[in-house]
Structure 1
């Protein structure tokens, strides 16, 4: 049997669990049902000791699809004052610096982790890039991965109630009508979307973009939609499947995790995530007051989570995904550029790591 097919067959039970969780959440009208339902179902199963498989290469394909979907939000009719966008981006960078300073302090002084572990665990976003960089260091990869996974889990679960609390979005109206589930774009538009995905995959790698599988296709798709070459959207069913796969990707990160053995680390990560959520809420409100942009969009743009997850939430809920995606692209780019220098400054070569 070909390795790809064998890997897919091993992943099918995990996918079935994610779909079941999403369908159950959809049936009871939970917000973000396919994402949160799949994530909660697989997280509970993982923490209960079930051996779940990661989507593996499937997640890479999902990132390309999400990138194409995000690019479709950049339309010629898109409104936005460049000066106000710049001001909002500046607020986001200041908030990111404050979040990272707190996270590193909390992880080292309160949670008791080493300086390197605290630094990589404290980076607000870019989990894939951060994990790869941490592999070449003395950081505890288990703590780094768990901290980022718990942070994303806490943030995604908190999004619906927080958005409803700030009163800037109606979550009840974001679920597609059942008659629209089977909608598909026409053949020409489908070719453009596929071309954006394949071309963006090459462009992202050629430009060495952070999270190239996501932002490369987003750039090509945005160019096609901004110029009016195509106005195609991605089918709702594909959007729901993308949510399930992203939710599963979060849940399986807890596979092999024993609550008894890592309970302290989980509690510390959850506490840190809640404080960072409060940082994001305050920063989003400041950004809203300074720019007039939706506090909901600012919140999703400033949250210290993963770009794929939060951009997908913005797209699913229709909360200015172009605005949110732009902020996360800048955040990750800046973090990737400054992290090596920051590490060398905090942990100079030849010094013992505390």
Structure 2
């Protein structure tokens, strides 16, 4: 009887060509000094190949593992030396919720009146974030799942591509950063630090699911890792190579969502999603500028915190660029939690208005 590889090994082998494409895209982006090279390079390469008609494999469960890694990484930003005015955080969190309400109102109106989608489709496609949870909730509704998924995918794509020029325009941000040398790329934490990091990931994933946190595999490990780092129990850091790999897989995860997409068949959906994303980006920029002007909150941090969607992606960008990842993560966690809790109420309200 021929040897049959384990399902996980077989899935990994099927995903390898996609991963290699992402790595090549990331390396090419690094070579031309593209900001966020591993993330954007992998995303752009896989998106272009997907839209060309090539069927690429998604990371599958591999993305879940990457979410745990990103969660642990986010926790390392919560150090005992971390500074922050609770009053400014409170003001910014409140402003973010107001901006989120404006984004939701615009998205639903746009999807219904301009794009012509149903109420259910407009609501689930318009949620500014939490794509995994929102898609799961949409399964039991009458929403068009293809439109919902494509709208979220295009929004994340547009936001990630827009981040470098927008941050460059507002200034005060080093988009290039330092490129690690070979010794830094090969650096690994010691056994004790590795044990702390692995323990934070495993315990956090269990706790996140136990508490039914939104995006449990991201925010559960982030909570445990932040507690360990903030109390000074450990100062363990993740190796640069693992961080780069996480960026590649997240970038690939965005790009492969366009696999099987026909530009001719879905041209209207893609165009409407892109236009909606640009309008939501404008709302986020205005809200970030307003809170910065009134309270002095960092404009780049507020911008990443207010951007409509993609908590793993935007938190990873904040980490990669050193833009107050704790601040950005806290905002996305609050927004996703509030939106998930309010979705049934919002859906009922939209149905009454359109009855």
Q: What's the TM-score bracket when you normalise by the shorter of the two chains? A: over 0.9
For 2:15, the equivalent position in structure 1 comes to 11
Distance 1:48 1:36 in 2: 18
> Is contact 1:43–1:252 with CA below 8 Å preserved after alignment?
yes
Give yes or no for the alignment of 1:312 onto 2:327: no
1:92 to 90, 96, 100: 96
Report Cα offsets for 1:20-53 as digits up to 9, x if no partner: 1000000111100000000000001111110100
> Is contact 1:168–1:294 with CA below 8 Å preserved after alignment?
no
Distance 2:21 2:231 in 1: 41
Distance 1:172 1:9 in 2: 33
Distance 2:111 2:228 in 1: 43
For 2:291, the equivalent position in structure 1 comes to 287
Distance 2:297 2:237 in 1: 24
> Is contact 1:185–1:233 with CA below 8 Å preserved after alignment?
yes
* TM-score (normalised: structure 1): 0.97
Distance 1:104 1:346 in 2: 9
> Is contact 1:174–1:316 with CA below 8 Å preserved after alignment?
no
Following superposition, the deviation at residue 174 of structure 1 comes to 4.7
Give yes or no for the alignment of 1:140 onto 2:144: yes
Following superposition, the deviation at residue 291 of structure 1 comes to 2.5
For 2:26, the equivalent position in structure 1 comes to 22
For 1:257, the equivalent position in structure 2 comes to 261
Give yes or no for the alignment of 1:115 onto 2:124: no
Report Cα offsets for 1:29-83 as digits up to 9, x if no partner: 1100000000000001111110100000000000000000000000010000111
- Return structure 1 stretches of 4+ with deviation > 2 angstroms: 172-179
Following superposition, the deviation at residue 344 of structure 1 comes to 1.6
| Structure 2 counterparts to residues 161-200 of structure 1, below 5 A | 161-200=165-204
1:329 to 326, 333, 351: 333
> Is contact 1:168–1:295 with CA below 8 Å preserved after alignment?
no
Distance 1:175 1:89, change over 3 A: farther
For 2:57, the equivalent position in structure 1 comes to 53
Give yes or no for the alignment of 1:241 onto 2:245: yes
1:82 to 86, 92, 95: 86
Report Cα offsets for 1:269-326 as digits up to 9, x if no partner: 0000011111111111112122212100000000002100000000000000000000
Q: Which stretch has the larger CA shift, 82-91 or 178-187?
A: 178-187
For 1:105, the equivalent position in structure 2 comes to 109
Specify the SS of the correspondent of 1:347.
helix
For 1:73, the equivalent position in structure 2 comes to 77
Aligned residues: CA RMSD = 1.2
For 2:225, the equivalent position in structure 1 comes to 221
1:202 to 197, 202, 206: 206
Specify the SS of the correspondent of 1:172.
coil
Specify the SS of the correspondent of 2:297.
coil
Distance 1:118 1:47 in 2: 24
Distance 2:281 2:142 in 1: 28
